[in-house]
Amino acid sequence: MSIVDKPSNRSGYDDANDVDRIMDIATANTNPDEIIHIVQDNADAIFTWNYDKGERAKLDKLYEKAKTSQWNATTDLDWSIEVDPYEALNLQAELQMDTTLTDDPTSPLYKWGDKEWREFGHQSVKWRLSQFMHGEQGALLCTAKIVETVPWIDAKYYAATQTIDEARHVEVFARYLDEKLNGGYPINPHLRLLLDDIINDSEWDMTYLGMQIMVEGLALAAFGFMHDLTEEPLLKKLLRYVMSDEARHVAFGVLSLQEVYQDMTLAEIQHRQEFAFEAALRMRDRFLQQEVWEYMGVDTRVMTERMLNAPEESKVFQRMLFSKIVPNCRKLGLLDAGEGWLREKFTEIGVIEFEHMPDTGAEFIDYDLTEQDFEGKSIQKHQAAATVALGDS
């Protein structure tokens, strides 16, 4: 059954902070020993006999840029660099912004000292990079599916280059986790369900929306924040290279879906809005990192409730992860279609303030490996996102 045949589920999103829903997903069908995971792919393989390259000039430009932007994970990164797994990236500040977690005697973290916070920082980095690694494999499969299902030759050409990019991203994250951080974590259940849904859907544009706009859009923002935070040279360069690819990937989604969504009915667009919001919730819920709390011996349900109900000013980092997604949804016309349902939902989860930030349709140029002032532009982008997030707090 395609997404357009499914009944509307808008009433099912009345409470985005339903802890029971979040915890049910977090604990269901979790098998850390699973190696092979099979998902039914319901899409049709589409041949096109129209080989006129360049009919979609912007996609052709992306393809030409991708061909000259390939890098080698083995030779372009210095894997001989020694990394202190406890100092690779400090993510403690994200949590310590919430003083109700650190100063409240009823908080599970109230008695944490330097030892606990140091271990949490290490585990949080391992967990986060692990989920990005799993997400990159999801992108690898999804982009291969786009090659198979999209009806335009220019899009098939570009998507073929992206499959190479995604394989390289899986490779570098897996190697960094294995060699520098002493291993990683299994896939988070919220992320796994999202990837399953994207692969399972029969409509080719849903693969674009779920992966290129939602998953890759959040990853691009997250990689940028991590790149600016870390001083570890190998991770910093790894993230720089990955971001140059990711920016093209998100632009690929924006440029392709603009054309498709112009001709869709309101009912079809409303289904895409629902899918986008469900994807947003699953990505937000994935960052509640229940697996890390479990490792640290902390009650995951208590921490889930506390993080969902934390003061808005302490959620700046989490909200900034949507700084690419929201303007891209606006660019595609998803925010205000159907009486602004998606706008309302993004407002409820506190991310609508990013709608007027630059979309990624042409922004990929700023991330190119030849860009001389990348560091300065990167910091400016993330400072702008932080200013927007703090201004609404």
The three state secondary structure string of 75-136 is: CCCCCCCCCCCCCCCCCHHHHHCCHHHHCCCCCCCCCCCHHHHHHHHHHHHHHHHHHHHHHH
φ, ψ of residue 215 to 5 degrees: the values are -65, -50
Q: In this predicted structure, what is the pLDDT of residue 167?
A: 98
pLDDT at 300: 93
Chunked in runs of 10, what are the mean pLDDT values of the chain (393 residues)? 49 72 76 84 94 95 94 96 92 74 90 92 95 96 96 97 97 98 94 94 94 94 91 96 95 93 93 95 91 94 90 78 93 93 94 90 81 77 78 56
One-letter amino acid at 177 equals L
The ranges assigned to domains in the chain are: 46-391
Give me the pLDDT at residue 393, please. Answer: 44
The CA distance from 241 to 381, in Å, is 17
- Res 25: pLDDT: 81
What confidence score (pLDDT) does residue 101 get?
Answer: 84
pTM of structure: 0.91
Q: Does domain 46-391 have CATH number 1.10.390.10?
A: no
Is 190 within 8 Å of 130 (Cβ atoms)?
no
Distance from chain centroid for Cα 313: 22
pLDDT at 4: 45
Please give the full DSSP string across 159-195, using - where no structure is assigned. HHHHHHHHHHHHHHHHHHHHHHSS---PPPHHHHHHH
Q: What is the pLDDT of residue 1?
A: 36
Query: What pLDDT does residue 14 have?
Result: 66
Model pLDDT, residue 145: 96
